[in-house]
Amino acid sequence: MVKRLFTVAALSVFLGAVASATEGINLIGVGPVQQGTAGAGVASAKDSSWLILNPAGLTDVGRQVDASFQYFAPKRTIESSANPAAGEQSDDGAFYIPALSASLGCCNQHKGFLGVGFYGTSGMGVDYDQPRLPYSEGDTRTEVSIAKLTLTYAQAFDNGFSIGAGPLLVQSRIRTDIETSRTPPSAPASDKWEDAYGAGLIFGANQKLSERLSVGASYQSEQYMSEWNGYDDLFLDSFNLPQQLTLGLAYALLENVELVLDYRWVGWNKLDTLGDQFGWEDQNIVKAGATWFVDEHLTLRAGVSHGNSPIDTDVVFANALFPAIMETHATAGLSYRFDNFALHAAYVHAFKQDFTDSNAPEAGGGTRISMYQNSATLGASWYY
């Protein structure tokens, strides 16, 4: 039943969310309200999309349904030292990423809250004309797409404390023609779509310290995935997804101006595939955002996010078709609310990043990859 649900509901996500995302393979935030403050705000929920950021925030969200659609346009470039005949190549294909979530209201004497959400959260990929390796019949394409379904319950207490938790159900898809070498002679991978399924848990907590100041925290466990059976000659293990810890503050600077500051740790290095096989390092990310409630209708947002790339210069060639190198993002957003309906928009720019492989030439040294990104997200909320 779960497999059928994912297959039907995820189709539109997986047709689109295949670009190299922005915190490793993860989006910096889900939906235009999160993205408007660069994904910061673990201590201050604003809509039902927060159940994937901090499920405890559902206690501050009314009954509502939130939907969004993101236009994601990264510009990826490669110049492979192993195949100089290919020259510098670029891929500027754009992608479309939907999200849908709902806060279903309260129970347990108005202290318990339920939420459900389905999101395209992660992805990466390129599609070049010429191979990274010389004389290869493939080695030009990767497409990885990941969607998550979460069902969460949150509980509020009289002292301003709230907690929330729920399962994370995951489906991932891949297609690639990366050159494989585990079984001589070397040959491209199949380039056919393969699906994998997995699960993890998400936990969150909030505490209101005063009328102006709140603190929040959330943790996602490692999400354990089944194997992509058609690519067992390429990946040594399952493509598990990382642990993630987010801590943050929210402070009402003025009655209508809120500042948020978050720290996020993403445990890529702890994974068997991305960590051990591809050499990804853990990320430490700082996010800051501001929200200005101009009046009862108009809200403006801005944010910035910075964190280290999980890919270092000694693994550039190995990850040239998985170029998850983004570090700094700037964002802006707005909302306009009517009586029981609101419209939202956000813009995200990831500043250009260049990495050159530091190994010897025979190990891919000198290979250069670069990327910058622009994205725009439109969304709507219905209050009931």
Token digits of residue 89: 């190549």
* The dihedral sign for the CA sequence 34, 35, 41, 44: negative
CA torsion angle 200 306 27 291 (round to 10): 100
Query: What is the 3-class SS of 222-259, one letter each residue?
Result: CEEECCCHHHCCCCCCCCCECCEEEEEEEEEEECCEEE
Residues 6+ apart with CB under 8 A from 41: 34, 50, 53, 248, 250, 260, 262, 289
185 preceded by a cis bond (ω within 30 of 0): yes
124: Cβ contacts below 8 Å, ≥ 6 apart: 18, 19, 20, 21, 25, 142, 144, 322, 323, 324
Q: Which residue segment(s) compose the domain that 333 sits in?
A: 2-383
Question: Among 207, 119, 201, 223, which residue's Cα sits nearest to residue 153?
Answer: 201
What DSSP state is assigned to residue 33?
H
- Residue 94 confidence (pLDDT): 85
Place of tokens 């990859």: 369
Question: What confidence score (pLDDT) does residue 22 get?
Answer: 73
At 212 the pLDDT is: 97
Instruction: For 215-250, write each residue's pLDDT tens digit.
Output: 999 999 999 999 998 898 889 899 999 999 999 999
Overall domain count for the chain: 1
Weakest-pLDDT range from 82-91, 185-194, 370-379: 185-194
The better pLDDT of the pair 175, 233 is held by: 175
Question: What is the percent of the chain with per-residue pLDDT over 90, rounded to a whole number?
Answer: 81
pLDDT at 9: 32
> Helix (H, G, I), strand (E, B), or coil: what is residue 14?
helix
Q: From CA 270, how far away is CA 280, in angstroms rounded?
A: 9
Question: Across residues 329-341, what is the average pLDDT?
Answer: 97
Q: How much is the pTM?
A: 0.91
Find the length of the chain: 384
Q: What is the largest CA-CA distance in the chain?
A: 69
Q: Which has the minimum average pLDDT: 45-49, 59-63, 243-247, 349-353?
A: 59-63
| Residues 185-220: tens digit of each pLDDT | 567 888 899 999 999 999 999 999 999 999 999 999
Give the closest residue to 143 by CA, choosing from 124, 161, 159.
124
Report the CATH number that the domain containing residue 81 is assigned in CATH: 2.40.160.60
- Rounded Cα gap, residues 141 and 138, in angstroms: 8
Instruction: Provide the β-strand partners of residue 246.
Output: 218, 264
